[in-house]
Amino acid sequence: MTPPEGMDIPSDPKGQPEQSAGEEDNKELSDKTTSSKSFRAGDIDENVTRQKKNDETAQNIKMIMKVLEGNFQRNIATKTSHPGGMPRRWRRMNSFDIEDADPLEFFLWSDTASPTLPRVQFRERESTGGEIAILRDVSTSMMGTYSEWASSVVRGVIELARTKNMRCGYLEFNHKADPYERQKGKRSIFSREYPWLMDMAESTDCSGNTNYEEALKTIVSEFKGRGRRNKHILFITDGIPTSGDIRLEDDDKEARRRAPLLNKKEELTDHLNAGAPNRNTKAPRPLREIVKKTQQLGIRIHSIFIGSKNYPPILQKISEETFGAQFVAFRDNEEIMQVERKDKFISDYARKTEKDESYDPIKAAFSHKIHTITGKL
């Protein structure tokens, strides 16, 4: 486009703005970066937590991807009929697919036509697809670095699903569930529109509180009626549920857990019956029913808990009972998000705690004196 005649508009033949004199690219980049934004993003945002470069965050996410990929491959691939597959055996022709017909039988059939069609090659290919649903917590506590990091994880999982040709569903939840795919008028939440899912995952808006029940109920219902092979849910959260059903235990088990000091049978019975007009009537456990349904459908629920302390027991039980992987994400001393397998992290933390508790400074002081006196003697 050329300017109108008579207008004197300054221009730069090198394509650089006149005000900057072409020095924009020579400026030193700030070290205030986030896991999914440019190097200059933190310069004008005082609320951004200091992070190192994106490649370190990407390395942490790779560990999650490696474990998930192993779970995907553990499911035996099924062989399905496909016109581009390898010819593995013969079958009777059910349409005029002459290209795969046995030449000799086709020649004989064309010479003397009969109701029995010639045999053709049956082509099959291994179907390594499946379905992965991503549940991402967008409650208020996820605001900031946690939301940015969770966005990076979601995009990594979507890319992994693309390489495995898996149908992917994405659902953000707080106290309610919001399946994006339904907003487009489609019947299923699952899709192979990976670029569109990537765009949705870039959102970092957070609000509300946390409801496990609503999110799991919404996503598990989408698996209904499908096969029992290669189905996964990735559950990303940073806290315990504060609305909806908040536990998996039955009422009696929960009452016993909360009453460790009640030793007599009569007192325990009174405690269990407190506030319950009918002893035989138990309150429904929606989360328990949802977990049972996932077990029946063969769905594995993998969980990522963001925060090194107070790992929710309910989240642990959900993953354990569905044979899913468990991860812990936490900030290290340099404010970098680190990821570890949950079982390894807990065992390391327990060993460290046990070591710290076993150290008694008074005992150590007296022990030191005794050893000193013994040495002098």
Do 78 and 126 touch, CB atoms closer than 8 A?
A: yes
Domain boundaries, the chain: 65-73+129-273+283-357, 81-127
Q: Which amino acid is at 116?
A: T
Please check the confidence at residue 211 and state whether its pLDDT lies above 60: yes
Three-class DSSP category at 172:
strand
Residues 58-86 have a mean pLDDT of: 64
**Both structure tokens of 35:** 């896991």
Q: How far apart are CA 138 and CA 124, in angstroms?
A: 43
Please check the confidence at residue 135 and state whether its pLDDT lies above 90: yes
Please give the C-alpha separations between residue 53 and each of 33, 43, 59, 240, 336, in angstroms, as whole numbers. Answer: 7, 14, 11, 30, 10
Q: How far apart are CA 275 and CA 50, in angstroms?
A: 51
Please check the confidence at residue 262 and state whether its pLDDT lies above 50: no
Class of the CATH domain delimited by 65-73+129-273+283-357:
alpha beta
Residues 6 or more apart whose CB falls under 8 angstroms from that of 241 comprise 210, 211, 212, 213, 312, 314
237 burial (CB, 10 Å; 0-12 / 13-18 / 19+) is: buried
Please check the confidence at residue 229 and state whether its pLDDT lies above 70: no
Q: How far apart are CA 234 and CA 324, in angstroms?
A: 9
**Both structure tokens of 103:** 């030449």
String of b and e for 95-129 (b: at least 16 CB within 10 Å)? eeeeeebeeebbeebeeeeeeebbbbbebebebbb
Q: What is the pLDDT of residue 77?
A: 54
Do 129 and 230 touch, CB atoms closer than 8 A?
A: yes
H or E segment and range at residue 286:
helix 286-297
Q: Among 147, 172, 170, 145, which residue's Cα sits nearest to residue 157?
A: 170
Q: How far apart are CA 265 and CA 76, in angstroms?
A: 51
By mean pLDDT, which of 50-54, 107-111, 306-310, 358-362 is the weakest? 50-54
The arrangement of strands across the sheet holding 131-137 comes to 177-179, 167-173, 131-137, 231-237, 299-306, 326-331, 337-341
Residues 233-259 have a mean pLDDT of: 67
Mean model confidence pLDDT for the chain: 68
Q: Which residue has better confidence, 345 or 165?
A: 165
Q: Among 136, 139, 149, which residue's Cα sits nearest to residue 49?
A: 149
Q: Which residue has better confidence, 98 or 221?
A: 221
Q: What is the pTM of this model?
A: 0.58
Do 125 and 85 touch, CB atoms closer than 8 A?
A: yes
Q: Which residue has better confidence, 302 or 123?
A: 302
Q: What is the pLDDT of residue 90?
A: 79
Q: Among 343, 341, 304, 329, which residue's Cα sits nearest to residue 135?
A: 304
Q: How far apart are CA 290 and CA 294, in angstroms?
A: 6
Do 336 and 51 touch, CB atoms closer than 8 A?
A: yes
Q: How far apart are CA 209 and CA 227, in angstroms?
A: 33
Q: What is the pLDDT of residue 134?
A: 92
By mean pLDDT, which of 93-102, 168-177, 187-196, 331-340 is the weakest? 93-102
Residues 80-91 have a mean pLDDT of: 70
Please check the confidence at residue 17 and state whether its pLDDT lies above 80: no
Q: What is the pLDDT of residue 236?
A: 92
**Both structure tokens of 82:** 């496909």
Q: What is the pLDDT of residue 170?
A: 92
Please check the confidence at residue 370 and state whether its pLDDT lies above 70: no
- Taking residue 308's Cβ as centre, other Cβ atoms within 10 Å add up to 15
**pLDDT tens digits, 91-107:** 777 776 777 888 888 88
Phi (first) and psi of residue 327, to 5 degrees: -130, 155
H or E segment and range at residue 291:
helix 286-297
